[in-house]
Amino acid sequence: MSSATPRKAFITGITGQDGSYLAELLLGKGYEVHGLVRRTSMFNTGRIIHLFQDPHEKEVRLHLHYGDMLDAAGLSGLINKIRPDEVYHLAAQSHVRVSFEIPSYTCEVVGMGTASLLEAIHQSGLQARYYQASSSEMYGAVAEVPQTERTPFRPRSPYAAAKLMSYWLVNTYREAYGLYAVNGILFNHESPRRGETFVTRKITRAFANILAGRQEKVYLGNLEAKRDWGYAAEYVEGMWRMLQQEKPDDYVLATGETHTVREFLDECCRLVDLDPEKVVAIDPRYFRAAEVDLLLGDPSKAKRELGWEPKTSFSALVRLMLAADIAAVGLDPRRYGLEPSPDKAVVLGAV
């Protein structure tokens, strides 16, 4: 890769957990990175603030553009302006339980947003390679265990149904127009940058606040749901590898292990010596209208064809996230036998 003509990548959802890690990865590989940012009245760039460069400097390689997945004309304009070599579509209304409350918006942003972006690439005539952030939630009421690239989809939420629409749109554009487009079917992947309303981060942040005397309890829903949890910083490497193959294909990224929410909770309690009976309460509002009981991925195809496999264990992931949130409230994680987090973008309230 020539430093004079770096490859260009366009990332939707760059301010999210995955987008921030992916931007780091691509910048480290010498890419020029462009990111889509949705305009709000508050700054939402906490996860990527450490990547910013003064635009007056020479050779700035991170560029942010205001836009929205509901603005098809705007997306088309950006694709033609940036002319990316690779497009990573990560933006979404990604909270499953919330999708039951705002189903129309979820389906429009996730499903129609994907259609608009794919059509923009197609109409541009660019030979851009496209990555679609598909989801293990598409498996829903699972037809088999573990789930592979060939497992039938049975979605159980508006979010999952919208993601399934996007999945088939990718396949359609690949087959109809020869677009280099892939689906990354990623199982749950967490980190200190995970949104605070997602159950893993909700637990670690609450425990940090309890230790700091700022909170008494954490309110949760279904503790028996089983998920395949990995470390997000490793999963973005898999995304990139998918777009480096000779031919486009779809891949599952997962750890091949499943754990309940209760196990995640108990591991946190064990590490900081808290009694779950005293600090955890169940709130029916946090149960889904239709639950997905068990997700367990088989990443063997990704390992075989991409050379990708997860390296961070479930226990190490819990420790990493808990240490980051404990440090964010001003406590020393070493008091609890935890190593400080190496994550540069951990800012409580900004992630």
| CB contact set of 125 (below 8 Å; sequence gap of 6+) | none
d(CA 92, CA 163) in angstroms, rounded, equals: 9
Residue with tokens 């193959």: 245
Residue with tokens 């098809």: 72
Q: Catalytic site residues?
A: 135, 137, 159
d(CA 38, CA 149) in angstroms, rounded, equals: 32
Cβ(221)–Cβ(210) below 8 Å: no
Q: 149 vs 50, 185, 186, 196, 255, CA distance in Å? A: 36, 8, 11, 30, 14
Question: Quick one: which H or E segment has residue 281?
Answer: strand 280-282
Q: 50 vs 12, 215, 338, CA distance in Å? A: 18, 29, 24
